[in-house]
Amino acid sequence: MEKNGLWITRRDFLKTASAGLALSLAGRPAFLEAKDERDLVVVSGDPATATRAALEAMGGISRFVQKGKRVVLKPNMSFSNPPEWGSTTHPLVVATVAQACIDAGAQRVVVLDNPLRPAELCLKRSGIQEACKSIKGVHVLALEDRKFFREIKVPQGKVLDRVEVFKEVLDSDVLINLPQAKTHSATGVSLGIKGLMGLIWDRFSFHSKYNINQALADLATVIKPQLTILDATRALVSGGPGGPGDVQKPNLIVAGIDPVAVDSYGVTVAPWYGQNFKGRQVEHLLVAHQRGLGKIDLDQLKIFKGKA
């Protein structure tokens, strides 16, 4: 365990807490705590309303997307399965966020993934294309050709020194990660950070060439979503990442800026393969945390819980 990470975290935490205390002492009602001080927002409800409420609780989409910005939304639409399978992000989660971005004045919103199955089938059967069809300015793309990627360096990479990332992501202002909560046979769970693999060209080397947990942490040092909204309305608790498998319904949307924190909470929303785990028990999350990419311990997080 790296002590440094912890010290800073605690200090940050204390700072924030004392600031909050001071403010409330100054006569500010506690229930009006600043939304941008929340580390995590967890809202239960159906996909659309919970997503809307989560965005609201995060301080509104305008905190992340301003007028004229180019936005990329990265849902999981790697598989040509319907939403009930729990292997892809719920279409209404994607559509709700896309609509919010458009309402906030985004110049263009591209919903993007590099699918594992034929692109057309994934777009259609995941329901995401259909859900976003009527929103003007939103473009749903599943791209499979290398020409849409550009190589970047990974300066802090331990195993990865270069990686080819979607040009669209590199050229955009805002990246919002919309992962689906599910099991994964290589990484235990597949949440936000694992979902970043859908933005790169050569995923297979992660499995064959590198230690996938290190490589994922490396990737997270260069692809940094401004916001992660984890879709845990359904959780594929076995048979991941493609399913079919057991699907549970935690009915939760978890949103946050810190990708490790969101994932760490995501680990606790359901028992995976019939067992309960904590974020620290997921190797790639622990590595990411140790590399200073985010907080992993939930008791150090400011979590807002709500119902929609």
Partner 1 sequence: MRTFLQALSFLIFTTLFVFANYKLPEWLPADVYLRLDPLLGLSAVLTGKEIISRALWSLIVIGATLVIGRFFCAYVCPMGATIDFLDFLSIRKKTRPELKGEANWRKAKFFLLILFLSSALAGLSLAYLMDPLPLLTRFFTFFLYPLAITLINLLLDFLRPLLEALGWIELSHLHYPQPAYYMSFITFLIFAGIIVLNRWTPRFWCRYLCPLGAFLSLLSPLGLFKRRISTECNECLKCQKACPMGAVEQDPKKILLPECIQCRTCADVCPKGAISFPAFPSADRASQLGGEYAAVDFSRREFLTSMTGGFTFAFLADRTPFTPLQSKHQLIRPPGAVLESEFLRTCIRCGECMKSCLTNTLQPCFWESGLPGLWTPKMELRFAPCEQDCNVCGKVCPTQAIRSLSLEEKTHAKVGTAILRKELCLVWAQDKLCLICDEICPYNAIVFRTIEGYRRPVVIASRCNGCGFCEQRCPIQGESAIVVVPNGEIRLKEGSYIQEAKKLQLEFKPDPGDDKFILDQSGFKAGEQKEPGKKAHPEEKTTPPKPKGFL
The site for partner 1 (CB under 8 A) is made up of 80, 108, 110, 116-118, 121, 125, 139, 141, 143-145, 147-148, 168, 183-189, 204-205, 207-209, 211-213, 238-242, 244-247, 272-275, 277, 280-284, 286
Q: Which residues of 231-262 are buried (b: 16+ CB within 10 A; e: fewer)?
A: bbbbbbbbbbbbbebbbbebbbbbbbbbbbbb
Rounded to the nearest whole angstrom, what is the least distance from the CB of residue 51 to partner 1 in the complex? 23
- Minimum CB–partner distance for residue 143 and partner 1 (Å): 6
CB closer to partner 1 out of 209 and 305:
209
Give the C-alpha separation, 28 to 124, whole Å: 50
Distance CA 246, CA 175 (A): 30
Question: Going by C-beta distance under 8 Å and a sequence separation of 6 or more, which residues neighbour residue 43?
Answer: 50, 51, 53, 54, 57, 252, 253, 255, 305, 306, 307, 308
Closest CA to 220 of 264, 260, 279, 170: 260
Report, in Å, the least distance between residue 144 CB and partner 1.
7
Smallest distance from partner 1 to CB 69, Å: 15
Instruction: Give whichever of 61 and 286 is closer to partner 1, judged by the CB atom.
Output: 286
**How many whole angstroms separate alpha carbon 52 and alpha carbon 253?**
10
Least distance (Å) between residue 38 CB and partner 1? 28
**CA geometry: angle at 62 spanning 55 and 181, to 5°?**
30
Q: To the nearest whole angstrom, how small is the minimum distance from the Cβ of residue 289 to partner 1?
A: 12
Distance CA 101, CA 225 (A): 15
- Comparing C-alpha atoms, which of 55, 96, 67 is closest to residue 256? 55
